Structure 1
Amino acid sequence: MSDAVIVGVDGSASGFDAVDLAAREAHLREVPLRIVHALGRPSARLPTGATPWDPGDRGLEAMAHGVLARAEERAHEVAPGIGITRSVVAGEAFEVLEIESRSAVLAVVGDRGLSAFAGLLLGSTAVHLAAHGRCPVMVARGRAAPTGPVLLAVDGSLAGQAAVEFAFAEAALRKAPLVALHVWNTWSERAYEGPGDPLTAVVVDAAHLREAEQHLLDETVASGQEVFPQVAVERRLVRSRIRPALIDASRQAQLVVTGARGRGGFTGLLLGSVSQALLHHVHCPVTVVRGKE
């Protein structure tokens, strides 16, 4: 199904939180919701000495359809008018959802599944899909501030432009303000100062550097504001460590939007360190938007 929001469910509490979030997103976009359960090898859930897993096991399939039925019921409670389809697909969750994402406008997953180790902050499916998904990937985590802004992590990269477009569109759909937050520090200074230790770099002209970073932020916001003039925007320029600043700002947000890689990303890297930190530690749902290949 094309032009649908997809959500992966596995029967976990996190998965059902993702259903709630996905149903709202489908309602906002006026598109159908597709609920998917991947029937892969549940090795982490099998006790020692259990019968070997059989992908043709009718019991497992019945259990999966039970999970889907509960998910559909929950989605209808959140967004009564949306169209919903559901399916059980054989395969590992990260593979199934990556394939499903090729024909979706948005993929939504929980931050942890049934197979997550105790204390693990983020499940492997969420990380894999954020890195390899073919559409924006929203991870349900934390607690959204209902009246808070959409928080856009501005990095000024070409790849990050897709995240800018998504954040403005999302703010317009939610009728929410947008905070465009650009954090700069000694890594930014290194780009201006040339080779050297970024932790001990000396800024020759801090005022000029700040002006350049402000210009980058202004240009980034202008591109989105032109398409969505109705969105109220706060431009926030902060000199700090990038990850802690963004994570702290997420406390007052209803959604965080970030690109998959920033200006400092290595060639070929699918998910940057800042994006990974946000996936693991933000206090509200977060969306990772990959740029064009």
Structure 2
Amino acid sequence: MSTSEQEHDVRRRPDPPPPGRHHVVVGYDGSDGSVRALAWAGEEAERLGAPLRVVVCVDWHPVASPEAAGALLAPPDLRRLGEQLADQALTRLRGDHSGLEVGSAVHDWAAAVPALLEESAAARLVVLGSRGHGAFADLMLGSTSAQVAVHAHCPVVVVRPPDASEAPAATGRGVVVGADSSPAACRALVFALRAAAARGSEVTAVRAWQPPSLWGSTQHGPAHAQLVALERAQADLLAQVVADARQTVPDVVVHERVVRDHPATALLEAARGAELLVVGTRGSGGFRGLLLGSVSRAVIHHAHGPVAVVHSED
């Protein structure tokens, strides 16, 4: 049996997460992106009065090079590496949030996606950075982000870096959410209302729509009167979904905004300086499975702040 196989056989499972789906999970690997995610998760857990569980996933892939003539490098002590990273994260959290209940879980010899999905089954929220090392590297561009965001058993927040050109005074303008009548968007709206309530802020619910490019037998859009009627119908739909959501979270101010534009463009524009942008994993329209479609990819790639992804069923 090879050294790596022996190491894998003695891998120690982390302690199970606490029951009840009350805690927040944050993925940490020491990268700048995961440091941002750790800071955001600490603030959010404190805001919610929830315990925070730092999850470190460390895996090893043999590296070959021309100099090594195909020889495999000896595997590192992944358990020790993971525990060092976890201790680093806990030290940061205890320094910034002395009253926060924190713990850690080290998944050694473990790929990030299955470990994070397993952790999400018991969590109320999973927080990830937009880029990391190793298993978390290029999170927003690779399969890790798509699989975790689509298949997690709870909402996922991806902490994007802020826009360096944006003035600090422009930040903190409440929570923005994409709103339509689909089940996932309705859940996203309730999530946004709760997030705003915890922050003492307001919600901007954005209903983006585009008129049909073909109208009858011509290549023109609808006439002005018809366009006004369509826009009024969109506003009525938005008002109804907001009213339904406010039955669950009644004490939050909601600004309803109907925008005649591509949904991704409308959401990104509305979310400039916002504390949080919330989207559902499924929407009504041409793309089913929002995270695999153009809207979510644009939002996740280009938002300058945290993006929460809420599933149709958690």
With the shorter chain as reference, the TM-score category is 0.7 to 0.9
Q: Which residue of 1 aligns with 2:92?
A: 74
Name structure 1 gaps, 5 residues minimum: none
Looking at structure 2, the residues matched to 69 and 132 of structure 1 have their Cα atoms a distance apart, in angstroms, of: 28
Output the TM-score relative to the length of structure 2: 0.81
Indicate whether 1:163 and 2:188 are aligned. yes
Name structure 2 gaps, 5 residues minimum: 1-17, 164-169
Letter of the 1:107 partner, please give it.
V
Q: Is the 1:122–1:279 contact (alpha carbons within 8 Å) kept by the matching residues of 2?
A: no
3-state SS of 1:275 partner: helix
Q: CA deviation at 1:158?
A: 2.2
> What does 1:1-293 correspond to in 2, within 5 Å?
1-2=18-19, 3-42=22-61, 46=63, 48=65, 49=68, 51-52=72-73, 54=75, 57-58=76-77, 60-90=78-108, 91-115=110-134, 122-143=141-162, 146-186=171-211, 189=212, 200=219, 202-204=221-223, 205-264=226-285, 266=287, 271-292=292-313
RMSD: 2.8
Q: CA deviation at 1:76?
A: 2.1
Looking at structure 1, the residues matched to 74 and 209 of structure 2 have their Cα atoms a distance apart, in angstroms, of: 51
Looking at structure 1, the residues matched to 261 and 127 of structure 2 have their Cα atoms a distance apart, in angstroms, of: 31
Letter of the 1:30 partner, please give it.
G
Q: Higher mean Cα deviation, 224-233 or 212-221?
A: 224-233
Q: Which residue of 1 aligns with 2:166?
A: none
3-state SS of 2:104 partner: strand
Q: CA deviation at 1:102?
A: 0.5
3-state SS of 1:227 partner: coil
1:170-204 Cα shifts (integer Å, max 9, x gaps): 00011111111111113xx47x969x99xx56325
Higher-Rg structure is 2
Q: CA deviation at 1:136?
A: 0.1
Aligned residue pairs: how many? 282
Q: Which has the higher contact order (CA 8 A, sep 6+)?
A: 1
3-state SS of 1:87 partner: strand
The structure-2 alpha-carbon separation of the partners of 1:267 and 1:183, relative to structure 1 and needing over 3 Å to count, comes to closer
Q: Is the 1:37–1:64 contact (alpha carbons within 8 Å) kept by the matching residues of 2?
A: yes
The structure-2 alpha-carbon separation of the partners of 1:280 and 1:270, relative to structure 1 and needing over 3 Å to count, comes to closer
Q: CA deviation at 1:238?
A: 1.0
Q: Percent identity?
A: 35
Output the TM-score relative to the length of structure 1: 0.86
